[in-house]
Structure 1
Amino acid sequence: MEKIITADPGHGGEDRANKGPTGYVEADGVLDIGLRLKELLIKEGYPIKMTREKDETVALYDRTQMANKWQGRLFISLHTNAGTETSNGIETFYTLNNEWQNKQHHQEAKRAAEIFQRNLVEATGLRDRGIKTRLVDNPTSPIHGKDYYAVIRRSNMPAILVEMGFHSNPREEALLKTPAFRQKLAEALLKGMKEVYPLKKQNIVEKQNIKLNIHGMPSQVEGIFYENKNYVPVTFLRELGYKVTGHGTNVEIEYRKEQ
């Protein structure tokens, strides 16, 4: 069974202060992107849970508690950025030194950040601000040297935080307000997910025509392809003059004698 992906639309509820100059609200924008991503992932067969699916207040601690309880394979926090009117582009933060001190978290998160960042930039054409880490630099802090972002620091799994454009930039805010651009972001995230964590192929049974050669006699019969092997019903041998008796798992085949 595939492990769960946790998508975390940032902010929400009482936390709605992050806004663009013409009315874009980060909490609403990233929720919409997250719901679009969820729909896409489900269609592809990925198990996904979200820390919120409506406009509600969810504490940072609770977000990671949920993800840790679900024992997911990746925590991806969805955000849009703020800066000056000219600040622009996409950047992705990833696990470096979380509370769990798991080196594998760092390695997997860095790889995921690289892939998601590339796909987001390619899909949108926005400036590539790169992948980054950010640590608490206050020497008096009890978490000095740990990951700065709480959702990254407290997640017991690889974690990334994507900043999908600057809502403080009028041009990028205008894009973020459109359903088409939000869908483009969700599809880029899906593409990244398929690259980072490709789904294992299930044991799919496919019907197909299988060509055979029985004692020098070419034939074609409808069979199935399962787990990289071809299977054909033994009853087709009757058409070639063989005697097939029995049923279920008990089948006897009487071969023709050479003439």
Structure 2
Amino acid sequence: METIRLIAVLLITLLTLTSSALAGVEILGARLSSQEEMTRLVFDTSGPVVEHNIFSLDSPDRLVLDLAGTGLGGELRQPDAGNPLLTRIRSGERAGKSTRIVLDLKRKVRVKSFCLQPDGRYGHRLVVDLTPKPQQEARQEALSAAARDLSGHPSVQQRSFKARDVVIAIDAGHGGKDPGAIGVLGTREKDVTLSIARKLAHLVDQQAGMRAALIRDSDRFVILRDRIRIARKHRADLFVSIHADAFHDRKVRGSSVFTLSELGASSEAAQWLAARENEVDLLAGIDLGKSNEEVAGVLMNMTQNMTMEHSLLAAKPVLEELGQLGKMHQSRIQSAGFAVLKAPDIPSMLVETAFISNPQEEKRLRDPAFQQRVAEAILNGVKRYFAANPLPQTLFAMQNSSGARSVRHVIEHGDTLLDIARDYQVSLPSLRSLNQLRDDRIRVGQVLRIPES
């Protein structure tokens, strides 16, 4: 009897989950907030958004969000007149259970998007951050569009999507008057980390759609907060700090990967390493402890929560790839309060390649072939992260959506054939030809097939 009751409960649970999956995810509403020139949109959803794609259009400037497997379940709040970037938000459901949201812009913008899990106060959310593009960059895009128009060809036919590079900030630990840990054979951590960092940067620059930014490319001393500043200057999408540290027990060995923790280190070794690394700035006469209140205030920001979440997502595949090289010090992601990982807006990780205090591992760290394998493992993990979490307007996002099924559009009030062509980045003649239209007349409720852009 107990077995039958258990089976019944399992069947009911399975049916409930299946029903929820078939129902799709609903967009419950949108919240807007602005700080200085930045605007943040938070879309509250009934479940996780499995796939979303974002691209920009010009003449006029717009941003288009396509959310697969979603429907509209609530009103989207409109921006007020004082919003620095937005004039209006339009939305509509498309055939095949998906939603298109169009943001009418006051100027060209840069965009970052990410998903957040329920945290007790809020449920699932899709967050879209908009910041204005520098005037020089926006002016160059406007000149390019004008040149296309003067060429006599419809700009919609000439419009192309130029993917931006994913930027990886590579931080070689220590340097200059800070040698880092020193092995029995006299191997200095600062030399090993710089060698691995250069190899990793070379590999990254060879990848289509990726670009490396070395925090230091020479034997120089860089304070911890400047390392974050340099990464932000390069608009880094990921920060990877490379180390080969030591422990008082010379038997300790293996690779490990760390992300930031504000609640305490995950092991004795993690606590010891973090305390040691954070003391580095004392060489420059800087007491990091004096900035604790400032750091604590930054960490209260919602952005930091997202950053820490994506730091874990990025660290996991890197840890798995390093596991292919040999024994791991820790088979799970470690956490500690490394100051170098405290950038509030850049997902960050610290890679402990091996322990230089272990005589056997010191020999491996001196081997250029081993250094190359470490760099390759880190690269493979980073590529896996961006493939699973593609940033908008990057090659990863384009590759992720290249296998999408054919798109259909249901005509709504106010739609014109030209607007539809622009929104989907296709030419007007191809749209007419695919749908066998003799002219540009369309009717509400009519379904159009969208050609591949």
TM-score, with length taken from structure 1: 0.69
Residues 22-45 of structure 1: CA distance to partner in whole angstroms, max 9, x if unpaired? 121110001000000011111113
2:343 is aligned, of 150, 154, 166, to 154
Q: CA deviation at 1:57?
A: 0.9
Preserved contact between residue 67 and residue 155 of structure 1 (Cα < 8 Å): no
Q: Which amino acid aligns with 1:85?
A: R
Check if 1:175 corresponds to 2:364. Answer: yes
Q: Secondary structure at the match of 1:78?
A: strand
Residues 95-132 of structure 1: CA distance to partner in whole angstroms, max 9, x if unpaired? 3457344221111101111111110111x112241311
Q: Which amino acid aligns with 1:94?
A: T
Check if 1:22 corresponds to 2:185. Answer: yes
Alignment length (residue pairs):
189
Preserved contact between residue 169 and residue 213 of structure 2 (Cα < 8 Å): yes
Q: CA deviation at 1:17?
A: 4.3
Check if 1:113 corresponds to 2:315. Answer: yes
* Equivalent runs, 1:167-246 vs 2, <5 Å: 167-198=356-387, 199-200=395-396
State the partner residue of 1:43: 206
Q: Using the alignment, how far apart are the partners of 1:149 and 1:70 within structure 2?
A: 21
Q: Secondary structure at the match of 1:89?
A: coil
Q: Using the alignment, how far apart are the partners of 1:127 and 1:7 within structure 2?
A: 22
1:4 is aligned, of 150, 167, 183, to 167
Q: Secondary structure at the match of 2:244?
A: strand
Q: Secondary structure at the match of 1:165?
A: coil
Q: Using the alignment, how far apart are the partners of 2:352 and 2:239 within structure 1?
A: 14
Of residues 177-186 and 148-157 in structure 1, the stretch that sits farther from structure 2 once superposed is 148-157
Q: Secondary structure at the match of 2:175?
A: coil
Q: Secondary structure at the match of 1:8?
A: strand
Check if 1:87 corresponds to 2:87. Answer: no
State the partner residue of 1:125: 326
Q: CA deviation at 1:49?
A: 0.3
State the partner residue of 1:103: 305
State the partner residue of 1:253: none
Q: CA deviation at 1:85?
A: 1.4
Q: Which has the higher contact order (CA 8 A, sep 6+)?
A: 1
Q: Which amino acid aligns with 1:67?
A: A
Q: Which amino acid aligns with 2:347?
A: P
Q: Secondary structure at the match of 2:382?
A: helix
2:196 is aligned, of 33, 43, 58, to 33
Q: Which amino acid aligns with 1:61?
A: R
Q: CA deviation at 1:157?
A: 1.0
Q: CA deviation at 1:190?
A: 1.1
Q: Using the alignment, how far apart are the partners of 2:166 and 2:316 within structure 1?
A: 21
State the partner residue of 2:51: none
Preserved contact between residue 18 and residue 25 of structure 1 (Cα < 8 Å): yes
Q: Which amino acid aligns with 1:65?
A: R
Q: Secondary structure at the match of 1:127?
A: coil
Q: CA deviation at 1:47?
A: 1.2
Residues 149-171 of structure 1: CA distance to partner in whole angstroms, max 9, x if unpaired? 11112353111001011000001
Of residues 177-186 and 149-158 in structure 1, the stretch that sits farther from structure 2 once superposed is 149-158
Preserved contact between residue 181 and residue 244 of structure 2 (Cα < 8 Å): no
Structure 1 residues 47 and 115, CA gap change in structure 2 (3 angstroms): same
Show structure 1 runs of 4+ deviating over 4 A.
Answer: none
Check if 1:61 corresponds to 2:225. Answer: yes
Preserved contact between residue 126 and residue 165 of structure 1 (Cα < 8 Å): no
Q: Using the alignment, how far apart are the partners of 1:175 and 1:151 within structure 2?
A: 26
Seq. identity, %? 31
Structure 1 residues 17 and 108, CA gap change in structure 2 (3 angstroms): closer
Q: Secondary structure at the match of 1:24?
A: coil
Preserved contact between residue 109 and residue 158 of structure 1 (Cα < 8 Å): yes
Structure 1 residues 78 and 17, CA gap change in structure 2 (3 angstroms): closer
Check if 1:72 corresponds to 2:273. Answer: no
Q: Which amino acid aligns with 2:202?
A: E
Q: Using the alignment, how far apart are the partners of 1:127 and 1:133 within structure 2?
A: 15
Gapped runs of 5+ residues in structure 2? 1-163, 263-294, 388-394, 400-453
Q: Secondary structure at the match of 1:168?
A: coil
Gapped runs of 5+ residues in structure 1? 135-147, 204-259
Q: Which amino acid aligns with 2:369?
A: A
Say what the alpha-carbon RMSD is for the aligned residues: 1.8
